Structure 1
Amino acid sequence: MHILIIDDNEELLFALRQLLNDAAYHVDIAETLRKGEISISQKKYDLILLDWMLPDGSGIDLLTRLRHEKMLTPILLFSSKKEVEEKVEALDCGADDYLEKPFSNIELLARIRALLRRESSQKQTHLVLGGLIIDFSSRSVLVENEPVKLSAKEFELLELLVLNANIVLTRYQISEHLSRDFDHLSASNIVDAHIKNLRKKLKADELIQTVRGVGYMISR
């Protein structure tokens, strides 16, 4: 799989290239929109990771142009913008996903795997697991066709487990994902409490499996 990263943060580019190479992806980088466009014109990519703010313009502008040209390559937009309106704008302009900085490596890899599994012409917006239906676009959940209200953290936890199905996630990895404050990660008992609440609301104790001494996983 070939991935293009368009971002001007040298430290982040170095870290992402190493992370993705270790995960067996082939990675190219571009520090400006212009360099990114040149790379896209010369090579077919399976996924593009695009920063919102770049030295020579907005990633949204490039995203809009690429979608206008009918390019279907999945695009994940990075941004430090926190408002819901910005996320909506990105998705409306054709982004397949949106990731707020700072983000954890485990979350990025999960989202990359999810995007690469999707058909470019028919994007997956929901997932069915038995009687559980998860709609990622509206962040809603149905259990046996009945809506279940999850807190933001509970939905993030469910999404993380589902996108990493069949992979055991440690309490530290889950805590890193939920906290986003890498200097003050939540204690493991907080993770356990979120898991307990999620199981109770979903009425599916067996869905989220405990791997003793390690963490949790969902099997599919």
Structure 2
Amino acid sequence: MHLLVVEDEHTVADQLKQLLEQERYSCDVAYNYRDALELIDEKNYDLILLDWNLPDGDGLSLLKLMREENTNTPVLMLSAKSEIDDRVEILDAGGDDYLSKPYSNIELFARIRALLRRDTTQKNTLLQCKELTLDTRSHEVKVSGNPIHLSQTEYSLLELLMQNKNIVLTRYQLNEHICREYNSLKQSNLVDVHIKNLRKKIGIEDCIMTVRGVGYTIKDK
């Protein structure tokens, strides 16, 4: 898989490139709008990781231009902006997913894998396990077709687990995902409390499984 990272901070971009290559992705880097546009015109990428703020433009404008020119490459927007209106603007402009900074690497790679699994002409935003469904675009969660209400943290945990079905995620990884401040990582029982609430709301036996001494997982069967 050939990915493009568009990020103006050289250190961040180079670190991200190194991480991606460690996961055996091929990766190019553009540090500004102009170079990104040239690379997109020259090469066919499987996925673009696009920062919102660029020194000679902005990622949202680049995204809109790509879609106007019928470039259907999946785009994961990365930004420190986290307001709902910002996320809506990205999706309306043709973005496929959004990740606010700071983010955990486990979440980043989960979202990359999810986007790469999608067909570029018909993207499936529905995650499913037994009677449980989660729509990553509308953020609707349903059990047997009936919607259930989750808090933002509960939704975030469930989405990550469903994006990593059959993979055991440790309590630390899950805690890192929901806690943006490192001091909060010391609250070791925080994940357990949210998982307990999730199980109660979902009401499906053996949906979220405990791996004793490690963490949690969701299995297909």
Report if TM-score (shorter chain) is over 0.5: yes
Shift of residue 128 of structure 1?
Answer: 2.5
Q: AA paired with 1:157?
A: L
- How far residue 182 of structure 1 moved from its aligned partner, in angstroms, is 2.8
- 1:1-220 to structure 2, matched below 5 A, reads 1-220=1-220
1-structure distance, mates of 2:138, 2:66: 25
Look up the equivalent residue of 2:159 and give its one-letter code: E
**Once structures 1 and 2 are overlaid, which stretch shifts more, 58-67 or 122-131?**
122-131
Which amino acid is 2:15 matched to? A
Give the 3-state SS of the residue equivalent to 1:20 in structure 2: helix
Q: Which amino acid aligns with 1:213?
A: G
- CA 1:56–1:181: 2 relative to 1, 3 Å: same
Letter of the aligned partner of 2:156 in structure 1? E
Larger mean CA deviation between 144-153 and 167-176 belongs to: 144-153
> Equivalent pairs: percent with the same residue?
52
SS at match of 2:134: strand
Uncovered stretches (5+) of structure 1, i.e. residues with no partner: none
- Unpaired runs of 5+ in structure 2? none
Q: What residue identity is the alignment partner of 1:36? A: A
Question: When the two structures are aligned, how many residues end up with a matched partner?
Answer: 220
SS of match in other structure, 2:103: coil
- Determine if contact 1:2/1:25 at 8 Å carries over to the other structure: yes
User: 2-side partners of 1:186 and 1:100: how far apart?
Assistant: 22
Corresponding residue SS for 1:82 = coil
Distance 2:167 2:128 in 1: 18
Q: Deviations over 1:127-172 (max 9, x none)?
A: 2322112121221111122211111000000000011111110000
- The superposition leaves residues 100-126 of structure 1 with CA deviations (integer Å, 9 ceiling, x where unpaired) of 111110010000000000001111122
Between the aligned partners of 2:127 and 2:188, the Cα distance in structure 1 is 28
The answer on whether the counterparts of 1:30 and 1:36 sit within 8 Å (CA) in structure 2 is yes
Give 1:178's aligned amino acid: I
Moved more, 73-82 or 133-142: 133-142
User: TM-score, structure 1 length as denominator?
Assistant: 0.97
Shift of 1:207: 1.1
- Range with greater deviation from structure 2 (121-130 or 108-117): 121-130
Q: Which amino acid aligns with 1:47?
A: L
Q: Residue type of the partner of 1:37?
A: L
Letter aligned with residue 145 of structure 2: N
d(CA) in 1 for partners of 2:34, 2:17: 20
Q: Deviations over 1:18-38 (max 9, x none)?
A: 211111101110000111111
State the secondary structure of the residue aligned to 1:185: helix
User: Are 1:179 and 1:186, in contact at CA under 8 Å, matched by a contact in 2?
Assistant: no
CA deviation map 1:157-208 (0-9, x unaligned)? 0000011111110000000000121343252211111111111110123011
Q: CA deviation at 1:89?
A: 0.5
TM-score by length of 2: 0.96
